[in-house]
Every structure is written in structure tokens, then in C-alpha cells.
Structure 1
Amino acid sequence: MTVLKVSSLTKNFGGLAAVSNVNLEIEERELIGLIGPNGAGKTTLFNLLTGVYEPSEGKIELNVDGQMKSIGGLKPYVITGLGLARTFQNIRLFKNMTVLDNVKLAMNKSVRYSALAAVLRLPSYYREEQRILNEAMELLEVVGLAEKKQVLAKNLPYGQQRKLEIARALAAKPKILFLDEPAAGMNPQETTELTELIHQIKEQFNLTVVLIEHDMSLVMKICERIYVLDYGKCIAQGTPEAIKNNRRVIEAYLGED
């Protein structure tokens, strides 16, 4: 089942087309890679899909309850509510809050008690707070940070900050998770752990995962299909094996062995 369809998507900044006539079709529970040289338009494409930018042209459609719904130009919080969540190339955490509070804060849109219940501390307030705590701790267990729950986010090692950002994205209960260079800055051990984590959360949460990544060993190992951007245009798409042997992709990005 198609969960996300992009048709002739274009984003212009002045006279520059950062994304030009891009077409994507992503199926349920796929693990998709998005690769290309720096400046190819990959993060701009993510920003379009998640509502940070409004398309200049083209259509973005998301499967919502079995119907394809146009989401181009919707606000990011609306798109998140429809089932798309993301991490960022530059880590965006509340650095002076604890690991646990970072995840709990990401769950604020799912809170089910009223303002009156919160002010009066009614039983519904305590029940809901306990639910949020339990769910946040479950996510920290998934990413291996439960024992760091009271540590300030800024005091985590870099690789664990990346994992915390993934836990925050999962707190939105997405059906599609966008990961923007999740292995950037990681050492080989951290990259191996991240690869295992991506596989785990895809299966455990029945997710579709789309990732931008420059670590080709990671991309070729875990992605089922890959799209390649160059100068804002999609120049190839296919299986890792097909992409690895595509002459145009080799010339634009992968280079010769």
C-alpha cells in the first residue's frame, strides 16, 4: 500500500530550483534511502515533506485512513499529527532538560486531561501523567537510554543524543519516520548500534522509514530502495545493487572504486 506519493515536486528559492520535478512513491513499511552530494536538495525535500517549506509546484499526498490526502503547504504540527515525524541534521533537543522530560514534552499533543483537571489535580490528571511517564520510559528502553532518564540532554555523548532525538520522534507515534543524517558524526561502534536500532524500531513500530545518509555502508546494508538526488533532481531510484552499479550515480556521487 502506498503511504506517501510525491508528484512533480519543486521548490524555488528566487531563481534557484533547490528541488526540481521530483517524483517519489513509498510503500508501507519500506526502508528508503535518500542520497546525493552535498547541496543536492535532500534536506530541502525533507523540509517540504514535513511542512517546513511550502512547495512552489507539485503535490505531496499522504495515505490517511486509506485515502490519499494532499498535505503540501500544511503546517508542520498538522503533518506530524497525520503521522509524519522527523529528526534533524543538526540535533534539536532541549539541552537543559532531562532525557525523560525531553521525551515527555514530545508527547504533549497526546495529553487527554483538561486544563481544569490539571489545575485541580483531579484523578484524571494523575492517571494521564502516569500513562505519559510509562510510555516515555518504554521509548527510552527501546533506544537504550532508560538508565540515563535523569541526565541532562546536553551531558549525553553525541551518539546518545541522536538516539534521544529518535525517541522524541517516536513519541509522536508516526507511521512514517524521516531521519536526516542520523549517523553523522558517529564512530563505527555508534553507527553499528544505530543500524540495529533503525531495524528494530521499523519492525517494532511497523514504521516506514526514510533516511538521508552519507554513510554508504549503512545505506547499502539496510535500505530496500534508494532515491538519488543531484542538483535538486532525482537521477535514479532502485535497489541498493542497482544504484551501486548505476553509471550516472557513480559519476555524480559514488565515484569509482
Structure 2
Amino acid sequence: MSAILEVRDLTRNFGGLAALSDVDMDLETGELVGLIGPNGAGKTTVFNLLTGVYPPSSGTITFTPDDAPIKIGGSRPFDICRAGIARTFQNIRLFKDLSVLENVVTAMQQSQRYGLIASFFHTSAWYRAEQDVRERSLDLLRIMGLEDKSGELARNLSYGEQRHLEIARALATDPRLLLLDEPAAGMNPAETAQLTELIAWIRQNFKLTILLIEHDMSLVMAICERIYVLDHGVVIASGTPHEVRHNPRVIEAYLGEEVTDV
């Protein structure tokens, strides 16, 4: 395998406060990697730097979806999305006054290649492209179990369904690297178990690399091949789930006790 993401000495300062300090991280193509740590450790800041919400104060982010490395530190969010990185958010950010289907269709529009004339005059090429987008969007909703609710407003979905819709919308951008920010937040154990299976299925069938922030250790330990642990903006440990769950520094800073094998 080759590295699809390389992070070196990544630092982000807010005024005099260092939210992240000299973070190094590597993701191999096809891996499912966890990013854990206590609240305020800097996990979402990592995602915001990887997706262009914030520029790094220093350090480099190299994304290699194919053979040509791309330096994305400080790039604009939509350019990073087009390069192949998509994300979900800790606090769900749907277009709540659009339909379920429209949420996915909107995300898929960035990949359309018809020109201004075709769009303005609604040519046959435009109709074919729009039909293709609709069919692919419905396919994603089918995978997420939301096809029957495609016409409903996003705001009317249950919390768990909104989580699934947000994942569908991220997949609609055709990513190579998917960043999931606490996808199980607010879910009950049955919903979390279903989500665990769904994430594993998505990774396999969409051939994705996934970086996952999550506080539910049953989910993290069940599906992640490697884990990075952040505390106060610093990586304090990394390794396999077995190594992390038995690491004394991680136990002291975050877990509180050794997490039993799952």
C-alpha cells in the first residue's frame, strides 16, 4: 500500500493558543483509521485543517489520491473536495429545507461537466446528465435506507436518518478519502451497531480510505485498523487497537481504564 495522506509537523495556533502542535499522521490507501482523544484535544481541528476550513499555522498536508501528490495545506475547501476529500460534521449540517434527494443531488453537481450553454438551454446533454445524477443519488439513498424518504424535507428525518443522509451527501462528491466526525453521536447501541456495519461496507464497496473521529470505543475498536490519540493538540500514542487500549498514557489521559477486547 502507499500513503494517500501524509501530515507533517501540523500546527494550528489561535492567537496565543496552540490547538495543534507538530502533529504527524499517515494514512495508507484503503485503511480505516481512528482519531480519538478527550473533548478539546484538537480532533475536529485536524479535520478543519484537512478540509480547508482553517489554513495551517505551519506544517504540511500531502494528499495523493493517484500518483501525483497534492499539497493541500491552505487550499480552499471546494478545491480540496474536488481533489477527493469529503467529510461529515460533528454537528449535522444538512440543507434542512431541501428534500432528502435534493441534498444528495446538490452535492453531486460538482462533478458535472456540461457547459453553460447546455445548462441555460436545457439541451439533451443537460437532461441526460441530470437524469444520471438523480439515479446515482437515489442509489446512494437506497444504500443508506432512505430511498422511501427521498421526497421528505431533511429536517423531518430522525436524528439517525440525518446522520445517514450526511454520509450519503459526502459520498455523492465521489471522494477517495472520507472523514467522519463522530458519526455515532446521539445514537443508541442498536443504531451504533448498524452504523458500524455500514461504515465497514462503505469502505469495502466504495474502495475508500476513512479517517474516523469517535468517542464510542466499541465502534472504534471494532472497525479501525490503527488509531491515533490526541491530547491537548499533541499525538500521545498511535498503533493498533490492541496497542492503544493497553497504553498507560492513553488510559490516563482518555480511556480511564483498559478497554476490553471487542
TM bin (shorter chain)? over 0.9
User: C-alpha displacement at 1:64, in angstroms?
Assistant: 4.0
Match of 1:105 in 2: 106
Q: Residues 1-257 of structure 1 correspond to what in structure 2 (within 5 A)?
A: 1-256=2-257
Counterpart CA distance in 1 for 2:135 and 2:50 is 31
CA RMSD of aligned residues (A): 0.9
Counterpart CA distance in 2 for 1:240 and 1:171 is 30
Structure 1's unaligned 5+ residue stretches are none
Higher mean displacement: 140-149 or 243-252: 140-149
Matched to 1:252, the amino acid is: A
Matched to 1:255, the amino acid is: G
Deviations 1:141-173 (A, max 9, x none): 111111111111000000010000000000010
SS of match in other structure, 1:211: strand
Deviations 1:48-96 (A, max 9, x none): 0111110001010011431222110000100111110000000000101
Deviations 1:24-57 (A, max 9, x none): 0110010000000000000001100111110001
User: C-alpha displacement at 1:118, in angstroms?
Assistant: 2.4
* TM-score normalised by the chain length of structure 1: 0.98
SS of match in other structure, 1:67: coil
Counterpart CA distance in 2 for 1:59 and 1:234 is 16
Matched to 2:40, the amino acid is: G
Matched to 1:111, the amino acid is: Q
Counterpart CA distance in 2 for 1:146 and 1:191 is 21
Matched to 1:85, the amino acid is: A
* TM-score normalised by the chain length of structure 2: 0.96
Identity %: 59
Counterpart CA distance in 2 for 1:9 and 1:118 is 42
Counterpart CA distance in 1 for 2:146 and 2:96 is 15
Q: Go from structure 1 to structure 2 and tell me whether the alpha carbon gap of 1:214 and 1:248 turns closer, same or farther (over 3 Å shift).
A: same
Counterpart CA distance in 1 for 2:65 and 2:135 is 28
Matched to 1:150, the amino acid is: G
Deviations 1:105-162 (A, max 9, x none): 0011112222222232211111111110111011111111111111110000000100
SS of match in other structure, 1:169: helix
Counterpart CA distance in 2 for 1:254 and 1:227 is 13
User: C-alpha displacement at 1:3, in angstroms?
Assistant: 0.2
Counterpart CA distance in 1 for 2:70 and 2:123 is 39
Matched to 1:97, the amino acid is: L
Matched to 2:213, the amino acid is: I
| 8 Å Cα contact 2:20/2:42 also seen in 1 | yes
Structure 2's unaligned 5+ residue stretches are none
State the number of aligned residues: 257
